[in-house]
């Protein structure tokens, strides 16, 4: 990935950039924004399905990050996870308020084909990580996989997921939790850092 | 793993924890979200799960990366100039920004 001279990360980790941003360092914030722009815009676009809406959501997410960078705690997880969560929450809040005005949207969206989970693994840079993610996605049950998919990529609530998959509400909740739990243990998340209270 | 159906009595006993996956995925909305956040504040089990689940989700999110519009970075940086930052303070859990109106 290429970055412009003036906003290069200069070898700084995203966590370091976030820490500098928290201290009001505008050039660190610019470098952080440039580094995460494809991911933040991509998440927003996947959920919103509209480029101009996605750009607005991405800008708002980055401004949230600028405003609240001091709340980020390294020992609670990676900068990636923090930023994805902020972006995704912005995006789902956006589409939920839109859908409240136009219920048809939800139905149209529900007919979209599922993203192939192979593409999800494909996008991971490092070959070892990619293989592992592919293997781990493979151990999920169909309901676990579909529930996670609908929640993350389509921004549905657990209530909407239970309707869409025609399962009881408790089942939808349980499959989301088990699916993430399976991925977590399969991928060894929380064993190196973070994940502890 | 248990079957895909036939949950009810057993599940309702641990209903509060059951939402942790949905919560990490931002799939809990409105009052239910705030209610779960109250549960989270006093539940070490869920407090450990949320950040771990979010790492998993961040891994899934990589597949969405897309070339952003040229204007995104410059406009964001320009807008940030007029946005004041929160100062560091004691916080609980894995704090997420809230809507500005809720800041107290």
Q: Does B7 touch chain A (CB under 8 A)?
A: yes
Based on the fold, state whether residues A97 and A21 are members of the same structural domain. yes
Based on the fold, state whether residues A139 and A97 are members of the same structural domain. no
Predicted pLDDT at B93: 53
User: Which residue shows structure tokens 């036939």?
Assistant: B6
How many helices (DSSP H) and strands (DSSP E) are in chain B?
Answer: 6, 0
Residues constituting chain B: 104
Q: What interhelical angle do A26-48 and B44-61 show, nearest 10?
A: 80
CA dihedral A55, A28, B52, A117 (to 10 degrees): 40
The count of domains in chain B is: 1
Based on the fold, state whether residues A119 and A92 are members of the same structural domain. no
Chain A residues within an 8 Å CB radius of B60: 120, 148, 152
Asked if residue A1 belongs to a domain, the reply is no
Asked if residue A107 belongs to a domain, the reply is no
Task: Give me the sign of the Cα torsion angle B77, B69, B65, A87.
Answer: positive
Among candidate residues A149, A182, A146, the one with its CA nearest the CA of residue A167: A146
The backbone torsions φ and ψ at residue A103, rounded to the nearest 5 degrees and listed phi first, read: -65, -25
Based on the fold, state whether residues A123 and A97 are members of the same structural domain. no
pLDDT band at B84 (very low <50, low <70, confident <90, very high): very high
Which residue in chain B is spatially nearest to A157 when comparing CA positions?
B27
ipTM: 0.85
Asked if residue A97 belongs to a domain, the reply is yes
Q: Do the Cβ atoms of A37 and A58 come closer than 8 Å? A: yes
Q: Does A69 touch chain B (CB under 8 A)?
A: yes
**Contact: B96, A89; criterion CB under 8 Å:** yes
The count of domains in chain A is: 2
Domain residues for the domain of B40 are: 10-95
Average pLDDT by consecutive 10-residue portion of chain A (197 residues)? Answer: 57 95 96 98 96 97 98 92 97 86 55 60 74 87 95 95 95 97 89 44
Which residue in chain B is spatially nearest to A165 when comparing CA positions?
B4
Q: Does A62 touch chain B (CB under 8 A)?
A: yes
Q: CB-CB: which of A67, A78, A80 is closest to B83? A: A67
Q: Tell me the per-residue pLDDT of B21-53, one tens digit each, with 9 for 90 and over.
A: 999 999 999 899 999 999 999 999 999 999 999
Among candidate residues A27, A5, A44, A125, the one with its CA nearest the CA of residue B77: A27
């Amino acid at each position: 990935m290429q970055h412009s001279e003036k906003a290069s990360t200069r070898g700084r980790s995203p966590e370091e950039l976030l820490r500098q941003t928290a201290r009001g360092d505008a050039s660190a914030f610019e470098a952080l924004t440039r580094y995460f722009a494809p991911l933040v815009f991509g998440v927003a676009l996947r959920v919103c399905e509209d480029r101009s809406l996605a750009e607005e959501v991405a800008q708002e997410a980055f401004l949230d990050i600028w405003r609240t960078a001091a709340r980020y705690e390294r020992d609670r997880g990676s900068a990636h996870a923090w930023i994805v969560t902020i972006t995704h929450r912005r995006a789902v809040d956006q589409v939920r308020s839109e859908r409240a005005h136009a219920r048809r949207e939800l139905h149209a969206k529900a007919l979209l084909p599922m993203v192939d989970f192979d593409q999800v693994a494909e996008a991971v840079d490092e070959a070892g990580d990619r293989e592992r993610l592919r293997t781990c996605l493979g151990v999920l049950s169909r309901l676990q996989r579909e529930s996670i998919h609908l929640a993350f990529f389509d921004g549905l609530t657990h209530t909407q997921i239970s309707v869409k998959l025609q399962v009881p509400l408790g089942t939808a909740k349980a499959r989301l939790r088990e699916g993430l739990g399976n991925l977590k243990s399969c991928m060894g998340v929380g064993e190196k850092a973070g994940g502890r209270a | 793993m248990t079957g895909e159906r036939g949950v009810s009595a057993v599940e309702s006993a641990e209903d509060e924890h059951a939402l942790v996956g949905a919560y990490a995925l931002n799939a809990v909305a409105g009052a239910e979200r705030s209610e779960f956040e109250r549960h989270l504040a006093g539940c070490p089990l869920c407090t450990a799960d949320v950040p771990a689940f979010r790492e998993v989700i961040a891994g899934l999110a990589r597949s969405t990366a897309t070339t952003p519009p040229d204007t995104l970075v410059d406009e964001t940086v320009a807008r940030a100039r007029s946005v004041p930052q929160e100062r560091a303070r004691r916080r609980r859990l894995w704090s997420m920004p809230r809507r500005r109106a809720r800041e107290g």
